[in-house]
């Protein structure tokens, strides 16, 4: 029969990996550097224009000043304390909202009955802007942790809900036919077909939820608090300490990116079977 089977998978893979390895050695560093070119140019121009006193230091402090402030804040221990509080809020709110979003998304995806009763209401709630409910949350729960965590949870809920629902409903019906022919039990249908097929969407929802949780955190902390990175920013603004405002912003940016990258690594591991356009 076929001659093509003489070539085993190992050979195909080994030739693939040798090419990939060669590319990787020169390519990986190259790739990372490529992402740094633009920020580096901006930082250099920024620093120079500050040093030449083209921009007022209260409006836009130089990167070197921001960096020294950053180091100073770490040394006094202030920053780490604020950061910890913010992180706990973000994780708490994300876990609460994300879990609920995932579970409800699964329920609505699996049962048309539940979809018809629950989904219209959720879609209505989804359109309410987070900022609009802040006053209500303050009235109900005060300025404490409860209102902050609930606000973050509200933000994190919807992306996971919508994408989980979408993922389940976009499972290929042709594969359902296969499952019927092979006599899958309901349980196997869920674990072998529906969940793996909707995993790409669920992971996308996870990433979006994390991003929204981070945004909601800032909104929650700006609405009034005595701790956290958001508080650090509002407090610094009142005293026109622009450098501290920048430190806060950069922390949000860096940790937003780190959490996103973590999910992406996870994604690459779980979705290695995907065969998509790589760009």
Partner 1 sequence: MSCLLEINQLNKSFVKERERIHVLKDIDLQVKEGEFITVIGTSGCGKSTLLKAISGLDTDYSGEIQLDGERVTGPGIKQGVIFQEPRLFPWLTVERNIAANLSLNEIEIKKNVEKLINLVRLVGFEKAYPKELSGGMAQRVSIARALLRKPKILLLDEPFGALDAFTRSHMQEALLDIWREEKTSMVFVTHDIDEAIYLGNKIVIMSSRPGTIQKIVSIDLPFPRKRTTKSLLEYRHLVLSEFEKVEELELVDSAGI
Q: Which residues bind partner 1 (CB under 8 A)?
A: 1-2, 4-5, 8-10, 12, 174-175, 177-185, 188, 192-193, 196-197, 199, 272-275
> Residue 3 Cβ, how far from partner 1 at the closest point, in Å?
9
Query: With respect to partner 1, which residue has the nearer C-beta, 8 or 238?
Result: 8
b/e for 60-97, b at 16 or more Cβ within 10 A?
A: bbbbebbeebbeebeeeeebeebbebbeebbbbbbebb
Query: With respect to partner 1, which residue has the nearer C-beta, 118 or 197?
Result: 197
Distance CA 138, CA 114 (A): 32
> Residue 170 Cβ, how far from partner 1 at the closest point, in Å?
14
Query: With respect to partner 1, which residue has the nearer C-beta, 176 or 255?
Result: 176
What CA–CA distances, in Å, run from 57 to 41, 235, 241? 20, 18, 10
> Residue 260 Cβ, how far from partner 1 at the closest point, in Å?
23
Cβ-Cβ contacts under 8 Å for 57 (sequence gap 6 or more): 50, 65, 242
> Residue 246 Cβ, how far from partner 1 at the closest point, in Å?
44
> Residue 179 Cβ, how far from partner 1 at the closest point, in Å?
8
Residue whose C-alpha is closest to residue 141's, from 149, 129, 130: 149
Contact 74, 247 (CB under 8 A): no
Query: With respect to partner 1, which residue has the nearer C-beta, 184 or 255?
Result: 184
Query: With respect to partner 1, which residue has the nearer C-beta, 34 or 174?
Result: 174
Distance CA 222, CA 207 (A): 23
Query: With respect to partner 1, which residue has the nearer C-beta, 4 or 26?
Result: 4
Three-state SS for 246-263 is: HHHHHHHHHHHHHHHHHH
> Residue 99 Cβ, how far from partner 1 at the closest point, in Å?
24
Distance CA 245, CA 233 (A): 5
Contact 251, 87 (CB under 8 A): no
> Residue 271 Cβ, how far from partner 1 at the closest point, in Å?
8
Query: With respect to partner 1, which residue has the nearer C-beta, 78 or 177?
Result: 177
């Amino acid at each position: 029969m076929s001659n093509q089977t003489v070539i085993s998978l190992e050979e195909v893979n080994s030739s693939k990996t040798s090419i990939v390895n060669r590319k990787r050695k020169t390519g990986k560093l190259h790739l990372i550097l490529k992402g740094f070119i633009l920020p580096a140019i901006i930082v250099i121009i920024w620093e120079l224009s500050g040093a030449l006193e083209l921009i007022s230091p209260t409006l836009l402090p130089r990167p070197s000043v921001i960096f020294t402030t950053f180091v100073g804040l770490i040394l006094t221990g202030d920053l780490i304390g604020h950061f910890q509080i913010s992180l706990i809020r973000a994780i708490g709110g994300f876990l609460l909202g994300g879990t609920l979003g995932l579970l409800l998304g699964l329920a609505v995806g699996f049962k048309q009955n539940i979809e018809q009763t629950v989904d219209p209401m959720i879609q209505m709630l989804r359109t309410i802007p987070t900022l609009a409910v802040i006053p209500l949350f303050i009235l109900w729960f005060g300025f404490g942790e409860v209102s902050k965590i609930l606000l973050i949870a509200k933000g994190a809920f919807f992306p996971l809900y919508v994408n989980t629902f979408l993922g389940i409903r976009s499972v290929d019906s042709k594969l359902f036919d296969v499952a019927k022919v092979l006599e899958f039990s309901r349980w196997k249908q869920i674990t072998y077909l529906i969940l793996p097929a909707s995993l790409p969407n669920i992971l996308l929802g996870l990433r979006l939820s994390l991003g929204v949780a981070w945004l909601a955190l800032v909104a929650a902390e700006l609405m009034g608090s005595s701790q956290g990175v958001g508080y650090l920013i509002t407090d610094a603004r009142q005293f026109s300490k622009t450098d501290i405002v920048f430190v806060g912003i950069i922390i949000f940016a860096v940790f937003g990116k780190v959490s996103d990258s973590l999910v992406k690594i996870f994604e690459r591991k779980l979705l290695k079977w995907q065969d998509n356009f790589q760009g």
